[in-house]
Structure 1
Amino acid sequence: MHVISRKPFNDAVRMHPNDRDALINTYITLRGGKFEAPDQLRQVFPSLDNFKYRDKWWVIDIGGNNLRTTA
């Protein structure tokens, strides 16, 4: 997984301050993790789901299903 920019995470923290910790933890996990396959990502994010309109795009729930990001 390659995180292109931290800016969307920072913007989300400003817009959703109640989910700040979850957003920061998600960023750190994605940035520092080495995920070769979706199954490895699913071990860290059990809510991982395939984005049905794009092949090889994945949706991660953040903050108890309050926010979502694509991977």
Structure 2
Amino acid sequence: MSLQRSLGLTVMMVTHDMREAVILADRIAVLSKGGVLEQVGTPAEVTGEPANAFVADFLADFGAVAD
């Protein structure tokens, strides 16, 4: 991460593991079938206020919910 910041690089990571995304990402985009963008935001925004039932269900599958 420090190398990324020192060089001013943007890194895009694709994962299905929301726990990993919440730990590593500055911003998260949740896509559903067909690449439909369901929600984008910080980890706190996405886990704290899921945009809809799809996002909430996806987060619940991984236990990635805000405390």
TM-score of the pair, normalised by structure 1: 0.26
TM-score of the pair, normalised by structure 2: 0.27
